[in-house]
Structure 1
Amino acid sequence: MTWIDISQPLYSNTAVWPGDTNFQFSLNWTKTQTGSVNVGKLELSTHTGTHIDAPFHFDNEGKKVLDLDINRYIGRALIIDMVGKQSIQVEDLKKVEINGTQIVLFKTMSWSNREQFPTTITYIEQGVASYLADQGIKLVGLDVPSVDPIDSKDLAAHHELTAHDIHILEGLVLDQITEGLYELIAIPLPIKDADASPVRAVIREIT
């Protein structure tokens, strides 16, 4: 089966958290200048586009990106349709058979224009992390920029997921993806001391 890219393209209009660093790519050297090569330069937030959060993002004592087990970001992933939901609740998950995988990805479609940062999103409610941990889940992903409400300051879902040893993947693009079982690869960059990392997330359907 063909691999499908479910990560956001990065360009100057990619939406970022209000006040955060805008994405920029430019040629630091051109082939004309060097006589042989083009060499690019990047400026971006670690939370740009599709990315993983390390616990250090919201806990000064938490693990940083290079401390994380990359095996958590590779494996069988169940994509669950949560379109139209204001939030993801335990009662929603009780209707879904999620045994046999350690990764769940929630399709919410609550961020339609990725050139504009959303004011509201579908988020994860209290208790979901505990329920997912009991099901053996080790990674949760969503198609929105946070597992918590946009205006959250206590970041309850971030903390609860981490307390249950569940890793966090945000900013996926699942618009054209149907509910079902897939293989996922979404490995963070080995950035020492970082609080997060952009990823190239890809899936292919398991039949």
Structure 2
Amino acid sequence: MKGNEIRRKPVRKMWVDISVTVQRGMVHWPGDPAIGIKRVLDIDKGDDCNVSRLSIGSHTGTHMDAPLHFLRKGKGLDKMPIEATIGPARVIKINDRKSIKAIELKRHRIRKGDRILFKTSNSRYWKSSQFRKNFVYIAQDAAEYLADKKVRAVGIDYLSVGGFYHDGIETHQALLRAGIWVIEGLNLLKVSAGRYHLVCLPIKVLNSDGPRLEPCFIRNRGEIMQYKCSVCGEKIDGGLLVFIKHTETHIINHIKKDHPDWVEDNGVCPRCENFYRQQLKGEK
């Protein structure tokens, strides 16, 4: 074994693609540009290769909302920290066919830093190219609850976290002002409620309000490497390990003060990271 590696869990892993296929005639938000796909170079017409031109609104299909989408001086997607949408995630099934309410979320024990994806009856709408105005959305009080919990990312299985008739602007602003990264247009039809590992990769467009992405799941039944926290020795899954940046010298110095042999490239558990960050805040 190397470093602080402990063991592997010899269990099967399976990827599930939860993005929507881009195609002509696909559903889009009323007033947004319709999708266009045109072959501009064609081997069958004597060209050396095939090249297509894709025209699509930034909030069509599976995409993300940057703070810039609803906040005048908000960040673009190119400023998103990659760990916001890569790591452990939870799929929560919502049976309410109208909206996701705060009272429902309180029983799910949502925690700080969670990545939460909501599976609703919306996922069955992807079979139709007709826009559904009565889709299930996140109510304003639920958005404020998620903001108070300081989750990292929130996703939903239709084109907006906010409703068409209610809480469209309010829900977006509550989430985006809290620094929560929003994923929209997911297809969770084949995914059950539970814990997963999320990989969500937006196209890096400068100052973008909402580029397309290709998210996938890996179930936490996969072969997960376990490690010891290099500070306290707690055993945790590798996906939860935190690596302190080399530029964060104040935190590094604090850790080395307590653990002189500690090496910067070794990961620490979230609890130890939070302890030293809070200790640093207390000195300011």
Mark yes or no: TM-score above 0.5.
yes
* Structure-1-length-normalised TM-score: 0.92
Residue 5 of structure 1, CA deviation: 0.5
Q: Check the 8 A contact 1:129/1:164 in 2, yes or no.
A: no
Query: 1:15 pairs with 8, 24, 27, which one?
Result: 27
CA distance in 2: counterparts of 1:173 and 1:53, whole angstroms = 17
- Helix, strand or coil for the counterpart of 2:140? coil
* 1:46 shift after superposition: 0.6
Instruction: Provide the secondary structure at the position in 2 that maps to 1:174.
Output: coil
- The TM-score, its normalising length taken from structure 2, stands at 0.68
Tell me which amino acid in the other structure corresponds to 1:144: Y
Query: Which of the pair has more CA radius of gyration?
Result: 2
Q: Could you say what the CA RMSD is over the residues aligned between the two structures, in angstroms? A: 1.9
In structure 1, runs of 5+ residues without a counterpart are none
Of 93, 98, 103 in structure 2, the residue corresponding to residue 81 of structure 1 is 93
**2:181 equivalent among 149, 155, 167:** 167
Residues 168 and 26 of structure 1: CA distance in aligned 2, closer, same or farther (over 3 Å): same
Shift of 1:101: 5.7
Displacement after TM superposition at 1:127 (Å): 2.9
Q: CA deviation at 1:74?
A: 0.7
Aligned-partner residue type, residue 171 of structure 2: A
1:63-119: CA deviation from partner (whole Å, max 9, x where unpaired) = 112122222111111000003341111211121133486200000123533311111
4+ runs deviating over 4 angstroms: none
SS in 2 for 1:196: coil
Letter paired with 2:158: V
Asked if structure 2 preserves the Cα contact closer than 8 Å seen for 1:129 and 1:166, the reply is no
Q: Distance in 1 between matches of 2:71 and 2:150?
A: 24
More relative contact order, 1 or 2 (CA 8 Å, 6+ apart): 1
What residue number does 1:43 align with? Answer: 55
Out of 16, 26, 33, the position equivalent to 1:4 is: 16
CA, structure 1 residues 152+63, in 2 after alignment: closer, same or farther (shift >3 Å)?
A: farther
Out of 108-117 and 61-70, give the one that drifted further.
108-117
The answer on whether the counterparts of 2:97 and 2:121 sit within 8 Å (CA) in structure 1 is no
For residue 55 of structure 1, what is the aligned residue in structure 2? 67
Alignment partner for residue 102 of structure 2, among 90, 109, 116? 90
Number of paired residues?
Answer: 207
**Equivalent-residue separation in structure 1 for 2:193 and 2:24 (angstroms):** 31
The AA in structure 2 aligned to 1:158 is: H
| 2:151 aligned counterpart, secondary structure | coil
Q: For the structure 1 residues 134 and 151, does the alpha-carbon distance in structure 2 shift closer, same or farther, using more than 3 Å as the test?
A: closer
Contact 1:78 1:98 in 2 (8 A): no
Unaligned runs of 5+ residues in structure 2 are 1-12, 222-284
- Higher helix fraction (1 or 2): 2
Identical counterparts, % of pairs: 31
